[in-house]
Structures are given as C-alpha cells and as structure tokens.
Amino acid sequence: MILLETDRLLFRQHQLIDIDAYCAMEMDADVRRYVGGKPRTREEAEQRFLQTLKPAINKLSMWATIYKPENKYIGRCGIYPHFDSNGNSIPGEAALGLYIAKPYWGRGLATEAGHAFVKLGFNEIDINRIVTTIQVGNDASVRVIEKLGFTLEYTEQGNPRSFLHYELKKQ
C-alpha cells in the first residue's frame, strides 16, 4: 500500500524485501548515534523490523521510505501516536519521525518527508499538534525541524543525554 508520494520519495508499508536495508541502518553507528546510542545487532534489528510489518492505524506509523530515482529503501519516516506519561495515546496529537540512511543525508530528503507528513497529519488525519524529540547535539535534525516550522517547547536535561522537545500546532 502506497501512503503518499513526494517528488523524490514514496512512502509505503514495510515489506520483507526491506529487511536487509533496514538492518543495515540499525547496525550503522552513525545512524544510531542520536537514536538510541549504539548500533543494534543483526538479530536485534530483525526483531525490530518485524514490528514494522504490523498494519498502521489511521495512517499513523513509520512508513518505508523509498528513494524513487533508485527505487531503493532508504529509511522510515512518518507520524505516529503521541503518548502521555501513562502510555495513553493523546487524541489529536502525533509524533514525527524521520530516519534516513547515511548515504542519503544532506540531500534535503528528511525535510521533504517532513513536509509531506506534516501536511498529511494536519490536512487528512486532522491532527492538531505534532511533536518531535531530538537529542542535544543532533544539529542536522534541529535544522530540518526548524525548516518545517517547529518551535522548541522545552529542553529535558538528562544524564548522560539531554533532549530538545519541539512542537508544531495546526494553524
């Protein structure tokens, strides 16, 4: 199932053919540096991949991201349910995730994907607020989020890592 397309990207349900590219990203120390810290083993990555095969609810999911010029899986992007501190989904809210393979960094693809999912959330799913969290030091992701119009809500001081919490409200 194709969810949506941009000029260079196609977003669809994950398929078994994506597993090797997915696992390569999960095992890449540079890709994982700001999303969990350490690379996953192949076994851990495969277990995680199986979760991507579950059907999305109301289009809220991390979708396989395909770079159309090469017809190649390059990551996963999407909006997914935003949960409160008790683990309950917050009605009218979603969280944005943009996870792109290292060879595709610096091409504007995360910004392109972000625009598509913000539009989907606000115009088709009737989301009122989209949030995202970025580890302090991940300056490239901060630039992407700020290009998309997100504003810093607060900084969470942690040990050893701190996080920036951003939000974008429907106009």
79, 80, 69, 97: which is closest to 6 by C-alpha?
A: 69
Find tokens 């606000």 and name the residue: 122
pLDDT tens, position by position, 79-93: 999 998 899 999 999
Residue 163 CA to residue 101 CA, distance in Å, equals 22
- Whether the pLDDT of residue 27 is over 90: the answer is yes
pLDDT at 90: 93
Contact in structure between 169 and 150 (CB atoms under 8 Å): no
More confident residue, 34 or 14: 14
Residue 78 CA to residue 114 CA, distance in Å, equals 8
- Measured in Å, how far apart are the chain's first and last C-alpha atoms? 30
Count the residues in the chain.
171
pLDDT at 144: 97
Percent pLDDT > 90 in the chain is 83
All domains of the chain in start order, with CATH? 2-169 (3.40.630.30)
171 confidence band (pLDDT: 50, 70, 90): confident
More confident residue, 2 or 49: 49
- Whether the pLDDT of residue 168 is over 90: the answer is yes
pLDDT at 102: 95
Region 95-102 average pLDDT: 96
DSSP string, 70-121: TTEEEEEEEEEEEE-TTS-EEEEEEEEEEEE-GGGTTSSHHHHHHHHHHHII
Region 60-83 average pLDDT: 96
18 confidence band (pLDDT: 50, 70, 90): very high
